[in-house]
Amino acid sequence: MRIGYGEDAHRLIEGRPLRLGGVAIPSERGPLAHSDGDALLHALTDALLAAIGEGDIGTLFPDDDPENKNRPSRDFLRAARERAEVAGYRVIQVSAVVILDRPKLGPYRDPIRASVAELLGLSPDRVGLCFKTSEGLTPDHVQARAVVLLLPLHQPKAPVPKNT
C-alpha cells in the first residue's frame, strides 16, 4: 500500500468565487490563485502525487502556463488519479481537513464529500472530512490538508503451498 500527504493554502480576496472539493460555496471572498484555487482538491492532488512519488501540482500544472489560468482544480485531481492508476494503484480512503473561518462549511459537508468521492471513484463513506476554523489566527485564508491511502490495483496471488 501507499500513503500520501498534501496540503494547500490560499489568501482570500474580494470578488473571487470560493470552491472546495469541486463545490461552489457562497462567499464574498475567494482564493487568490492562478487556477480556480480549490485548496481541498489541490491538497488531494498533491497527496496522490506524493503517494506515487511524482512531484507535486506545480510540477504538472505550473502557474506560469496560461493553459492553467482559472483552470478547474478537478482537472488536476483527475490527472493525478490517472497517474496513480497507470502506476498500478487505486485510492481506497481519503481523510482531509479544511481550515476556514468563514463562511461556515458544515452545511456543505455532504455535497463536498459526494464530489470528492465521485472524482476519486469512492463511496462517500471513504471520504473523511473535517472543518475547522483558525480561531481568528488567520482569518484571510483557506487551507486544506489531506491524506490518501492507495492499494495496488491487482493484489499478487499468494503462492500455492507445495505438498509435503
What is the per-residue pLDDT across 73-108, written as a single tens digit (0 to 9) for each?
999 999 999 999 999 999 999 999 999 999 999 999
Q: Number of helices (H) and strands (E), helices first, in the chain?
A: 4, 7
pTM of structure: 0.93
Task: Give the other-Cβ count within 10 Å of 147's Cβ.
Answer: 20
Residue 25 C-alpha cell reads as: 460555496
How far apart CA 40 and CA 38 sit, in angstroms, is: 6
Task: Average the pLDDT over 6-10 and give the result.
Answer: 98
Superfamily of 2-152 according to CATH: 2-C-methyl-D-erythritol 2,4-cyclodiphosphate synthase (3.30.1330.50)
Cell of 68: 492553467
Q: Using a pLDDT cut of 70, give the percent of the chain over it.
A: 94
Q: Which residues contact 13 (CB under 8 A, 6 or more apart)?
A: 29, 30, 31, 32
| pLDDT in the model for residue 154 | 81
If phi > 0 it is left, if psi is from -120 to 50 it is alpha, else beta; for residue 24 that is beta
Half-sphere exposure of 64 (CA within 13 A, CB side): 1
